[in-house]
Chain A
């Protein structure tokens, strides 16, 4: 199993380790609920070095990203970043990505750990005719997320960058405790916060310092519950090879008017005809927790779809779920049954996202 440069730190903190996307990662330290709340109320520190960091450089770098990304990055200024999706020709999803515009003809693409090899191959497969250089810097640069209402005040004294005035989705060169890299105002929790890209060899020292000034270490368990409440998609759940962006309520990331890109023809058709399925939010009104893969049925027992993510929401104190169901089949307030170990348990369709993100914009 692969290890991040902070593996020994996680073990020393008594984390429970699990395999995730081929990596030996901490799922929890003090407990998922406590870690979740520490992030919503204070500042949570996440080791996300398992994610992929690919550099795209060269005169055609922008044109190349326009080819593989559904989003229109022509308006992403240097020092800014945007969420994007890589699609297959048929509109299914390769991965969701973040594209950071670092400098003239220099971009960083951050992708999911579990998809890193597939994404790397996908990018390399499409460079013909583009004057670009792809570099995998996932090993040399570690990646941390510092998230929550206290993230800014904890980070500001440790860096030369003006993080107070760093724009939402902005990225800047920075030193943190003297180590040189980048800081961005991005994250995956629905809170204000930052992501730090710093040399792997210095990351233990920086991790220790951030904990010392009051950040709480957060494992993958709370990372999941924190992204679930504000409705941020997770590959393998809301998005997948066989799910297109319109079904996943990510139509806003697909910019059909920017010119052709991989998947644009299929996505045009899907948009014109309407997606076959749609993502809805469920609140369990009966006793039980919906989990990924559980069937969602109408009260007469007819099939509607399937749960993509479900869990007890630590912030809201309710058992909530996202489900991918037949398009148009369910309106807000509709009642359905979730089959929990074959037993129907009542749920109602509720508005999403469950939790309103609190970004500093």
Chain B
């Protein structure tokens, strides 16, 4: 059973979103980091860049694989986690805390995100496939 904090929102691409006013912190979920294995490289966009929902905004790499990370909402990057760039293992160690990736600002409120319950249900469905 994966850790899915109830105060966060989620995508089917296994990202989490913490909305606070007009900004949103984004990372990858406990499930995603476990599937990836040891994260050895994180590539994040420059602050000031804008992305549409669903657009790839960076990459998380394990020893074996490269995984793109997709914008869970449309907005502008206002902060990136430089610590995770220097110490990619933070994504494994603390995916919902020190392993956060970027902070977006947005003008239109994001839609289509999953609640913790809905995401957990999605994980269960995937596991039973």
Contacts and interface: CB of A to CB of B under 8 A. Distances in A.
B37 A314 contact: no
Interface in B16-72: 35, 37-38, 40-41, 43, 59, 61-64, 66
- Say whether chain A's binding surface is mostly helix, strand, loop, or mixed: mixed
Contacts of B38: 31-33
B40 A289 contact: yes
Contacts of A280: none
A197 B35 CA distance: 32
A122 to B, nearest CB: 29
Interface residues of A, number: 17
Contact of B62 (A32, A288, A341): A32
B63 A221 contact: yes
A225 interface: yes
Contact of A32 (B43, B63, B66): B63
A16 B59 contact: no
Name the interface size band of chain B.
10 to 19
A297 interface: no
B37 A312 contact: no
Given A288-B41, A312-B40, A341-B59, A27 B35 contact: no
A28 B37 CA distance: 8
Nearest to A343: B43
B64 A16 contact: no
Interface in A1-29: 16, 27-28
A142 B38 CA distance: 30
A33 B66 CA distance: 16
A206 to B, nearest CB: 27
A53 interface: no
A289 B63 CA distance: 9
Contacts of A169: none
Contacts of B62: 32
A16 B64 CA distance: 13
Given A16-B35, A341-B59, A32 B64 contact: yes
B41 A312 contact: yes
B49 to A, nearest CB: 14
B63 A314 contact: yes
B64 A311 contact: yes
A185 interface: no
Contacts of A341: 59
Contacts of A225: 63
B55 to A, nearest CB: 14
Determine which residue in A27, A33, A225, A319 has the highest number of CB atoms from chain B within 10 A of its CB, and name it. Answer: A33
A224 interface: yes
A28 B40 CA distance: 15
A291 interface: yes
A291 B61 CA distance: 11
Nearest to B63: A32
A31 B37 contact: yes
Determine which residue in B41, B59, B64 has the highest number of CB atoms from chain A within 10 A of its CB, and name it. Answer: B64
Contacts of A32: 37-38, 62-64
The 8 A-B pairs of least Cβ separation, nearest first, read A32-B63, A312-B40, A33-B38, A221-B64, A31-B38, A289-B41, A311-B63, A28-B37
13 contacts: A32-B37, A32-B38, A221-B37, A288-B41, A289-B66, A291-B66, A311-B63, A311-B64, A312-B41, A312-B63, A314-B63, A319-B41, A341-B59
Given A32-B38, A224-B64, A288-B43, 11 more contacts: A16-B35, A16-B37, A31-B37, A32-B63, A33-B38, A288-B41, A289-B61, A311-B64, A312-B41, A312-B63, A319-B41
